[in-house]
Amino acid sequence: MNWFRNFMIGRNGIDQLNMGILIFGMVITFIGDILTSSILMLTTYFIFGICIFRMLSTNISSRKKENYKFLEYWNPTRSWLKIKYNMVRGNKIYKYFKCPNCNKILRAPKGKGKIIVTCQQCKTKFTKET
């Protein structure tokens, strides 16, 4: 494995964008397999080609810029998905509600009766039944 380590020195490797492309490629492969679509299967070769190109690229500054732009969109999406997941999963423990002023999603433990909630973002105070 030492030759591989030496080979990868100075190359981009796997970053978040590459993982995103890889997962997207897998989803397209899965859909293409179900629909037996040759166009989708050819598209996956192109997608995985991009992934391999980015992984082996020695132009690290450009790859980092691409990854940074990807993260600008992915990070808010990921935290939104995480909140939605927690709203479903943590339903027995926490109650979720929106701040009436800034619409930030807040949570409080259930079964505490009527409480005064202070928004962390805009410091608005309001009462909620938990």
17 vs 82: CA distance, rounded Å:
19
89 vs 108: CA distance, rounded Å:
14
Query: Which C-beta is closer to Zn ion: that of 58 or that of 118?
Result: 118
Query: Which C-beta is closer to Zn ion: that of 26 or that of 83?
Result: 83
Stretch that binds Zn ion, among 9-17, 43-51, 55-63, 98-106 (CB under 5 A): 98-106
HSE-CB at 58 with a 13 A cutoff on CA atoms is 4
- Contact with Zn ion (CB under 5 A) among 101, 109, 110, 112: 101
Listed in sequence order, the residues at least 6 apart from 50 whose beta carbon sits closer than 8 Å to its beta carbon are: 21
Nearest residue to 15 (alpha-carbon basis) of 68, 58, 59: 68
* The token pair that represents 27 in the structure block: 């989803």
103 vs 91: CA distance, rounded Å:
20
106 lies in the binding site for Zn ion (CB under 5 A): no
Least Å from the CB of residue 98 to Zn ion: 9
Least Å from the CB of residue 18 to Zn ion: 36
Helix (H, G, I), strand (E, B) or coil at 117: strand
- Contact with Zn ion (CB under 5 A) among 27, 81, 93, 102: 102
Least Å from the CB of residue 81 to Zn ion: 21
How many residues bind Zn ion, per CB under 5 A?
8
Of 107-126, which residues contact Zn ion (CB under 5 A)? 119, 121-122, 124
The residues of the shown chain that bind Zn ion, judged by CB under 5 A, are: 99, 101-102, 104, 119, 121-122, 124
